[in-house]
Structure 1
Amino acid sequence: MFDESKTPYDLLGEKEGITKLVTTFYSLVSQDSLLSPLFPEDLTETAYKQTQFLSQFFGGPPFYTEEHGHPMLRARHMPFPITNSHAKAWIACMEKAMTIQKIDPDLQNILLSRLKMTAFHMVNTEDSERGENADTV
């Protein structure tokens, strides 16, 4: 069980812990046949921004906003065709990264619940193979 009086940012090990999580996450994304085409070959900048965003998202300092302004996640992701399948694959990679990083399972559930809402909010395209509606979770 984890200390619920601390922020997820603190519980994850602050910026260093989030950097490790993001590094693990993007190593999985780069190997995922569905997700890897959505990302640049060099994930350095992407991982840097993700670390900034997740630090802020999990209750830490507003690194992302300070450097890039308001996250405007949906607007920033609109140029990329994101389907429910992409959102599910993104969450699966994040869940696996959390498991690899040995994040407390109760904390994982809380974090994944928040991240799922965000991931599915990015969906802007229907899955073509199944005709799945982009609003379906």
Structure 2
Amino acid sequence: MQIEEKAPFDSPFEWMGGESRVKALAERFYDLMDLEPGYQALRAAHGSTLQDARDKLFWFLCGWLGGPAHYTERFGHPRLRMRHMPFSIGILERDQWLACMDQAMQETRVDPVLRERLNASFLKTADWMRNRGG
């Protein structure tokens, strides 16, 4: 039997450092998407402005990480796959999203153990969000 070590905080939200740190992560994620040529396909899928996406990611992550339910208070259940269905999401977009988020977590100094756990969860979710093969 393998016993997993208990996380040092009650929720990933607390481990992350609360709203200000989650906000910094969401902001850096979209800054990188806008700046880095390696995320060009991902950026192209987001339209001309990123402010709405920045807000929604911040609100979503707060609740998803175990903090305030800002997103569900505004919009109800996230229904991620349904809400992303209008966008073409393939392996390239998935991989760029994951790489961009990992870079944002590194640059905002998310604890390495938490970052590893979040990357595993993000991979499962991002792969589930794909709506085309390539």
TM (norm. structure 2) is 0.89
- Residues 34-84 of structure 1 show CA distances to partners (whole Å, capped at 9, x for unaligned) of 111100222111110100100111111111101001100000000001001
Offset, 1:102: 1.1
Runs of 5+ unmatched residues, structure 1: 128-137
- Residues 11-38 of structure 1 show CA distances to partners (whole Å, capped at 9, x for unaligned) of 1121111000010000111232111110
2:30 aligned to 1, 26, 32, which one?
A: 26
- Residues 72-128 of structure 1 show CA distances to partners (whole Å, capped at 9, x for unaligned) of 00000000010011111100000000110111111100111111111111100121x
Give distance in 1, aligned partners of 2:31 and 2:52. Answer: 14
Runs of 5+ unmatched residues, structure 2: 1-5
Give distance in 2, aligned partners of 1:110 and 1:41. Answer: 32
Poorly superposed stretches of 4+, deviation over 6 Å: none
TM (norm. structure 1) is 0.87
Give distance in 1, aligned partners of 2:77 and 2:111. Answer: 30
Q: Hey, what does 1:85 align to over in structure 2?
A: 92
Is the counterpart of residue 5 in structure 1 residue 12 in structure 2?
no
Is the counterpart of residue 72 in structure 1 residue 104 in structure 2?
no
The structure with more helix, counted as a fraction of residues: 2
Q: Hey, what does 1:130 align to over in structure 2?
A: none
Report the aligned-residue RMSD.
1.4
Q: Hey, what does 2:63 align to over in structure 1?
A: 56
